[in-house]
Amino acid sequence: MNILSAENLTKRYSEKVLFHQISFGIDHDDKIGLIGVNGTGKTTLLKTIVGRESLDEGVLVTGRDVTIGYLPQNPEFDGETTVLNHIFQGESPIMALIRDYEHVVQALEEDAGNEVTQQQLTALNSKMDAMDAWKIESEAKSILTKLGIYNYDAKIGTLSGGQRRRVALAAALIQPCDLLILDEPTNHIDDTLIKWLEDYLNGRQGALLMITHDRYFLDRVTNTIWELDQSCLYRYEGNYSVFLEKRAEREQEVIRKEIKRRNMFRTELEWIRTGARARSTKQKARIDRFEQLKEAKVDLRKDNLDIMVGSRRLGKKIVCLDHVSKSFDNQVVISDFEYTVLKDDRIGIIGANGQGKSTLLNLIAEKFQPDEGQVDKGDTVVVGYYSQENEDMDENLKVIEYIREVAEYITTKDHMQITASQMLERFLFSKEMQYTRIDRLSGGERRRLYLLRVLMGNPNVLLLDEPTNDLDIQTLTILEEYIQHFEGAVITVSHDRYFLDKIADKIFLFMGDGKIKQYTGNYTQYIELNADPSSINNQQDKRQQSESSTCKKEAYQQQRARAPKFTYKEKIEYETIDDKIETLEEKLVKVEEGIHNAGSDYVRLQELTEEKEQLEGELEGLMERWTYLNELAETIENGK
């Protein structure tokens, strides 16, 4: 069933055409990944679909009563609203009801004896029962818990940037909608949460359209790829692996046609040079064909170019981390860590958010000093550091001026010089773009430019902090190729499993409480190594529990700051959660009996199996919430 159709969409920014007369349709079972170089208009296309950007030309038509959910790349927040209130900001009647319920509960927390408010709560309870809204509220809390958000009443303004992003993701996932649109959903979440999100989206009913650079994620979630390239939209049926095969076929066909065009052009050019004139209709047609051939030039650029760049000489001594420790606010993030960096190291750093991964890079780059131990760096070491934070750029500079501030050229292994302009072209900045001011670039284009500036410094130790967060797939492919030829050490923090498989031969796992475990091999080999004797799921559970422990500790500290007691809503939840768990368990037993008795009624069997999975998910969320509430009750009791 078609839920959305687009005909001849065109969008321009000043003189730049993002997309021109593109047409497409989205069906209810489509799982679409939208890819393309940063700056081609991917995010703008999503915004036009949800109505946040206008079109210059074309028509968008949605089916009757079709609803669309949306996670923007840069969500906006009201710092004074609570986590739950933000989650339930949707426009559907059921979301409005849940907001009313949360508002009344909040009012009772402030004035528990107000009879009018109590009557309102009773009426809203009945409406919540009638619309089965408890299921959505329960699912919202379950998703928040999975994403490491435990204090549902915390104000958005008190959360970190990564926590806000996860709240925004939860808000998008919980909205009832026919088409879910996600702009970079894997940014700022670790590999464990990405795996959970894969499973969630694969089990979700309805259409999906998303932008992501995570190639394993694309491969495992999508059944269709859209590529936005040079103002055109190409559709490929299949996941990312199938797309790579089909795009290669398309590019070969384009090359074949271009070679044929050039051969014809040479023939017609020779004829024109003989002094041919349009004395007959046939001759005029031939001259017209010549003009068409001349104008029909196709860009045969190659995104993946060999970058055999040399690097500065690196001595025997590189970086020695000698029993290094570092803490923040009495929380140990690195404890008694020692390692000697080798010349050809390719180290991938993984672990839950907030465990100290970026801190290790900052210690090596000497942006932080260790509390204990020593970081000893060799005299020949030149560090290139690509950080998560955007470097301050003079937006009045032209692109090429920004790069030339670092170097006019770099030298290859065979002692040839590559100019700044040539390197910019290799990093997908055309000659025209090189003379564009930085303030005209998209966010992704700025990150690509910043990466090139780091590389133009000709480092021999390369530190990359989450490089895949803001770089498109084409740029990542170029970076991977650069690293393969790089004669120096590379240390990267990344949650991108594909990227780590391509470039890493060692994995550092940050386990929490300052502990770092080292593994030999890339990410997949690390997974396989942990699969036996203890499963990787157990390892991930430990990491998630570690993150959960940290988050719960923060939540408890916030609770104690205002008073060691339950809120009104938590008190009600604490008193009723056992009954809710028991009710769910009884439903599960009945569903399992139904599955057992379904026999060959495969339609009924499918319905019951889906219901069982949903109930198990709700029960898991309630059990996690039960654990939190009981630990909080124990904390309150111990504080008396």
pTM score of the predicted model: 0.73
Tokens of 128: 């919540």
CA distance 487 to 458: 11
CA distance 213 to 478: 13
Give yes or no for a contact between 150 and 555, defined as CB atoms under 8 angstroms apart. yes
Give yes or no for a contact between 15 and 38, defined as CB atoms under 8 angstroms apart. no
**For residue 94, which phi and psi values (nearest 5 degrees)?**
-70, -35
pLDDT at residue 51 in the model: 93
3-state secondary structure 580-609: HHHHHHHHHHHHHHHHHHCCCCHHHHHHHH
pLDDT at residue 576 in the model: 86
Give yes or no for a contact between 460 and 342, defined as CB atoms under 8 angstroms apart. no
Give the strand pairing for 224-229 and 31-35. parallel
pLDDT at residue 277 in the model: 55
Query: What 3-state class would DSSP assign to 104?
Result: helix
DSSP secondary structure letter of residue 311: -
**For residue 591, which phi and psi values (nearest 5 degrees)?**
-65, -40
Cis omega (within 30 of 0) for bond into 533: yes
- The series of mean pLDDT values per 10 residues for the chain, 640 residues long, is 92 89 95 93 95 94 90 91 86 84 84 86 88 83 88 89 91 92 91 91 95 94 94 93 86 73 65 56 55 56 51 82 93 94 94 90 95 94 89 90 92 80 90 92 90 92 92 90 90 95 95 93 89 44 47 44 61 83 87 78 76 81 80 74
pLDDT at residue 94 in the model: 85
Letter string b/e over residues 578-614, b meaning 16 or more CB atoms within 10 A of that residue's CB: eebbeebeeebeebeebeeebeeeeeeeeebeebbee
pLDDT at residue 602 in the model: 66
pLDDT at residue 211 in the model: 96
pLDDT at residue 553 in the model: 45
Rounded to a whole number of angstroms, the CA Rg of the chain reads 29
Torsion angle defined by CA atoms of residues 286, 289, 293 and 295, in that order, rounded to the nearest 10 degrees: 130
pLDDT at residue 605 in the model: 75
Give yes or no for a contact between 140 and 99, defined as CB atoms under 8 angstroms apart. no
CA distance 155 to 55: 36
Give the strand pairing for 31-35 and 207-211. parallel
End-to-end CA distance of the chain: 60
* Ranges assigned E (strand) in 503-623: 506-512, 515-520
Give yes or no for a contact between 139 and 117, defined as CB atoms under 8 angstroms apart. no
Amino acid letter for position 216? Y
Q: DSSP characters for 151-217?
A: -TTSBGGGS-HHHHHHHHHHHHHHS--SEEEEESTTTT--HHHHHHHHHHHHH--SEEEEE---HHH
